[in-house]
């Protein structure tokens, strides 16, 4: 594996790294500057020790916005910029937009209202697939953020949602959006090839947008 990219220093976003390092050869672990500054708890220190023991280097991304292309894949780091020391840790999550053959996926970590509003002011957020911010948590800016992204596929990761929260997400998504949930669908795979764009899940058949 070339890279593990961690969004921010919350345990549920990096607890799987030790298992990956035990079973796969990893070239680097990538974080943003706030991960190293905010990640000072016991779990983060233990992770740093495991990564060091495995001989895997850390890579710290530059401040957003940044764009680069590797092997035909366009990577955009949209967030965080510099000077977010006063922001809550969730709002320092790295936000990536990855584009291949004209299809884009937006990865949002655990961003909440402050980051969502700031990103809305920064411009184009459009993507075909949206990994929902903060496990599908909703805030005052969520509806505007979802509309700006305009994704035809939403992916929510996390434990099972209460029925009323699931219903709210479904209403926001509308009939034209495929809503997938790892609690119900298992692992979700997005596949882009020359001739196809499809979304499949571990527990079910292909779900086409």
pLDDT confidence band for 61 (50 / 70 / 90): confident
State the Cα–Cα distance between residues 46 and 40, nearest whole angstrom. 10
Instruction: Output DSSP code: residue 207.
Output: B
Instruction: Write out the two tokens for 62.
Output: 């530059």
Whole-number mean pLDDT of the chain? 91
User: In the chain, what are the domain boundaries?
Assistant: 1-61, 63-209
Domain 63-209 in this protein, CATH class: alpha beta
State the Cα–Cα distance between residues 67 and 136, nearest whole angstrom. 26
15 to each of 21, 74, 103, 140, 184, how far by Cα in Å?
Answer: 11, 28, 29, 29, 21
What pLDDT, in 10s, does the model give residues 108-139? 999 999 999 999 999 899 999 999 999 999 99
Instruction: Write out the two tokens for 150.
Output: 């305009």
In the prediction, which pLDDT does 85 show? 81
**What angle in degrees, to the nearest 10, is found between the helix axes of 142-149 and 163-173?**
40
**207: pLDDT strictly greater than 70:** no
What pLDDT, in 10s, does the model give residues 31-56? 998 887 766 677 888 888 999 999 99
């Amino acid at each position: 594996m070339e890279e593990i990219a961690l969004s921010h220093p919350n345990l549920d976003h990096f607890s799987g790294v030790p298992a990956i390092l035990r079973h796969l050869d990893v070239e680097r672990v990538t974080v943003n500057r706030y991960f190293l500054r905010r990640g000072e708890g016991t779990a983060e220190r233990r992770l740093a020790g495991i990564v060091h023991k495995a001989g895997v280097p850390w890579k710290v991304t530059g401040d957003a916005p940044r764009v680069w292309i590797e092997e035909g894949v366009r990577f955009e780091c949209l967030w965080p910029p510099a000077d977010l020391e006063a922001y809550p840790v969730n709002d320092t999550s790295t936000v990536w937009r990855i584009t291949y053959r004209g299809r884009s996926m937006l990865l949002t970590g655990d961003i909440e209202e402050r980051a969502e509003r700031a990103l809305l002011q920064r411009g184009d957020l459009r993507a075909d697939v949206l990994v929902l911010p903060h496990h599908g948590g909703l805030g005052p800016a969520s509806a505007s953020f979802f509309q700006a992204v305009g994704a035809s596929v939403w992916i929510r990761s996390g434990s099972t949602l209460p029925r009323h929260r699931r219903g709210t997400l479904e209403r926001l998504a509308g009939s034209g959006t495929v809503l997938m949930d790892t609690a119900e669908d298992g692992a979700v795979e997005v596949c882009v090839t020359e001739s196809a764009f499809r979304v499949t899940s571990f527990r079910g058949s292909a779900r086409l947008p």
